[in-house]
Amino acid sequence: MAIKAGIVGGTGYTGVELLRLLAHHPEVEIAAITSREAAGRPVAAMFPSLRGRLDLAFAAPERAPLSSCDVVFFATPNGVAMNEARALIEAGVRVVDLSADFRLRDVTEWERWYRMKHAAPDLVAQAVYGLPELNRERIRTARLVANPGCYPTAVQLGFLPLVESGAVDLAHLVADAKSGTSGAGRKMELHLMHSEATENFTAYGVPGHRHWPEIRQGLAQAAGGEVGLVFVPHLAPMIRGIHATLYARLTRELDLQPLYERRYAQEPFVDVLAAGSHPETRSVRGANVCRIAVHRPPQASGRADTVVVLAVIDNLVKGASGQAVQNMNLMFGLPETAGLEQAALVP
């Protein structure tokens, strides 16, 4: 019997990406898709790419049969899932939240960064952080999964082998990351308009970005202690993609290439490239994969104790909706790769 899936908030980029992936999933029936503004409108009328793939109309949230679903995805702004997830969980529905409502275990810290009162702190304690490469076994039995952010996915996957090795200075990690404009969501903002974002490149959030505590939390779990991290995000003139350039200082000698190859040898969605490679964002466009290359460049002093890791993902797939489907597969005992084996789009 097919898994009945519902999506709350189906008109944003992560929502339509979920629709694209689930419409091809061999074990899933999309039973409900909600939108207040688009209620009653056929999904294919708004997203013609789904014509012939999905015969469903948007429904107002209060009218959608969400409680009869097996799993519900929240592809909503921050602050929605924390108010609505409880009723679904109590009805026996499993929940995957693509917003940030349940990502940070410290509720006080969450409230400081997201500037609102958390409506369900008890659910935060139940939520499992949905990075399969870190928490796979806990995800399998979770009732509520907090899907990671896009930057945190790329940065954590790039750093994990180093942090777990204990062979780098954990107090001085640096993440220099670039994202396409779709990472900001499907909304009208001046700096995201084509004429503003094209032929432009800018850093933002240097004094503090909401993904910083999320990244530190995951890396601290892997390290078994606190980590120091400088995180600088940038907006790049492309639609999809994240490129994270990561820096760490070795504290003891380490053979880096085998370290990464061993760590990710059994991971279906992490691809460690050959030594000397430079992964491109277009190599993961539309695919649920993170491609990684690790380097040890020479320094003027003659030493080579700085590690440079390059990690690329599609922010809407492995950085959001694809990872959400990957988590769903784990939660329902399906092959982890089910519905997610599409090759990247080129060009």
Q: Using DSSP, how many helices (H) and how many strands (E) does the chain show?
A: 11, 13
Can you point out the beta strands (E) in 131-201? 144-146, 173-179
Q: Distance of alpha carbon 323 from its chain centroid, rounded?
A: 6
Q: What are the C-alpha distances in Å from 81 to residues 45, 72, 210?
A: 26, 10, 17
pLDDT, position 198 = 80
**Residue boundaries of the structural domains of the chain:** 3-126, 151-315
pLDDT digits (tens, 9 = 90+) for 268-327: 999 999 999 999 999 999 999 999 999 999 877 767 799 999 999 999 999 999 999 999
pLDDT digits (tens, 9 = 90+) for 194-239: 767 788 889 999 999 999 999 999 999 999 999 999 999 999 999 9
Q: Measuring CA to CA, which residue among 47, 49, 67 is closest to residue 57? A: 47
Please give the mean pLDDT across all residues of the chain. Answer: 94
The single-letter DSSP state of residue 206 is T
**Residues ≥6 apart with Cβ < 8 Å to 62:** none
pLDDT, position 1 = 81
Q: Which of 150, 160, 223, 227 is catalytic?
A: 150
Query: E strand or H helix at 214, and its extent?
Result: helix 211-223
- Tell me, yes or no, if the two domains 3-126 and 151-315 fold the same way: no
Q: What percent of the chain is predicted at pLDDT more than 90?
A: 88
- Cis preceding linkage at 347, omega within 30: yes
Is residue 187 very low, low, confident or very high in pLDDT (cuts 50, 70, 90)? low
The pLDDT of residue 191 is above 80: no
247 vs 308: CA distance, rounded Å = 5
277 vs 293: CA distance, rounded Å = 6
pLDDT, position 333 = 98
For the 3-126 domain, the top CATH level (class) is alpha beta
342 HSE (CA, 13 A, CB side): 21
pLDDT, position 302 = 67
pLDDT, position 276 = 95
pLDDT, position 281 = 97
Among 2-6, 141-145, 173-177, 180-184, the minimum mean pLDDT is found in 180-184
Is residue 185 very low, low, confident or very high in pLDDT (cuts 50, 70, 90)? low
**Residues ≥6 apart with Cβ < 8 Å to 110:** 100, 103, 104, 118, 124
159 HSE (CA, 13 A, CB side): 37
> Does 150 participate in catalysis according to the annotation?
yes
The pLDDT of residue 192 is above 80: no
Q: Angle at the Cα of 115 (from 11 to 152), degrees rounded to 5?
A: 65
Contact 70, 3 (CB under 8 A): yes
- By residue count, the chain amounts to 347
| Residue 40, both tokens | 């009653």
Q: What are the C-alpha distances in Å from 51 to residues 23, 26, 233?
A: 11, 18, 36
pLDDT digits (tens, 9 = 90+) for 117-169: 999 999 999 999 999 999 999 999 999 999 999 999 999 999 999 999 999 99
Across 80-102, b (16+ Cβ under 10 Å) vs e yields bbbebbbebbeeebbbbbbbbbb
For the 151-315 domain, the top CATH level (class) is alpha beta
Across 317-334, b (16+ Cβ under 10 Å) vs e yields bbbbbbbbbbbbbbbeeb
13 vs 6: CA distance, rounded Å = 16
Contact 201, 138 (CB under 8 A): no
**Residues ≥6 apart with Cβ < 8 Å to 347:** 282
Contact 240, 314 (CB under 8 A): yes
